[in-house]
Amino acid sequence: MEVTFLGTASAIPTRKRNHTSIVVKVSDRMILLDCGEATQKQLMEAEISPMKLDDIYITHLHGDHILGLPALIQSLAFRGRDRPLNIYGPKGIGQLLENIKHLGYATIGYEIITHEITEQNCEVYRQDDFKIEARLMKHTVPDYAYKIEQIRQPKFLRQKAIDLGIKPGPLFGKLQSGEDVEVDGKIIKPQQVTGPPRKGIKLVFSGDTIPCDAMVEFARDADVLIHEATFTKDIRTKAKENGHTVAEDAAYIAKDAGVNLLVLTHLSNRYTESKELEDEAKAVFENTHYAYDFMQLVIENKKPTVIKNLK
């Protein structure tokens, strides 16, 4: 997976931080997590073509997470997009998109497919090599965290297949793709010739939420947890009232969930720098970074160690 942070501010952007949006490249798809104001300009700055976007996942319907949608949707039409765009989000996302389609004088020449999430915990997308799950968190409005998880096929046990009388060839391929095969009147199932399940890369994005057990459970053993940390712990009461998490509590979530790397985001404009929040989190969970606009994170072989600045 390749993760690019386009916006890392909270409700009010700053000169250095745009509203929330994150691009994730996984397998053959390019995904946008949230779409704050000016996201399309941030895409241009990062040299990422918006035409390559396949899906947009919205965590919740607060303005700093959705106000980039109208401009992005219309710009894609101006550019001549003709393939569908999938947009996922909580209840109300369908009506929001209908309103956007009729905002001003614009013709949208491609299909926008909306997927409203209404369950507390569900799988919203799956293909052969990865899946995406949504989990309801605790904010002032319905907010979903998303988990993008690689699917790795179990190892094929070649010698075991041969011992069962299967000759190397097409039948091997069928078993590896999950099909039963018949040999001498006997049915051989894939699980008879494959090893235990293998863990794939797992990325979790919190959206906006107060600390909760649901997040710890959802982020269990994640390679990367991207979690909002809007404030420092000295204003924990204010953070909770506004449905947000402080840096220290995000770190405890990461520690309790056993994640590999914690990346904090959604910085309040009251802070000119993120070091204070990062240091607060590192006192609890050492492997913590506070994201900045145009930071890129590459996760390879379950090692989220490559962090660079695109600008």
- Close Cβ partners of 106 (under 8 Å, ≥ 6 residues apart): 74, 77
- Strand duo 2-7 + 295-300: pairing: antiparallel
* Encoded tokens for 169: 């060839």
Would you give the DSSP letter of residue 77? H
Burial class (CB in 10 A: 0-12, 13-18, 19+), 222: buried
**Can you say how many angstroms the Cα of residue 143 is from the centroid of all Cα atoms in its chain?**
14
Residue 63 token pair: 């303005």
Residue type, 54: D
Catalytic, 64? Answer yes
Yes or no: say if 252 and 211 are a contact pair by the CB < 8 Å rule: yes
* Residues 35 and 26 sit within 8 Å (Cβ to Cβ): no
How is residue 138 written in tokens?
């605790």
- CA 14 to CA 10: how far, in whole Å? 9
DSSP run (H or E) holding 248: helix 247-257
Torsion of the alpha carbons at 219, 221, 224 and 227, rounded to the nearest 10: 30
CA distance 47 to 50: 9
Q: Which of 34, 55, 64, 208 is labelled catalytic?
A: 64
Q: Is 87 exposed, middle or buried (0-12, 13-18, 19+ CB in 10 A)?
A: buried
- Residues labelled catalytic: 64
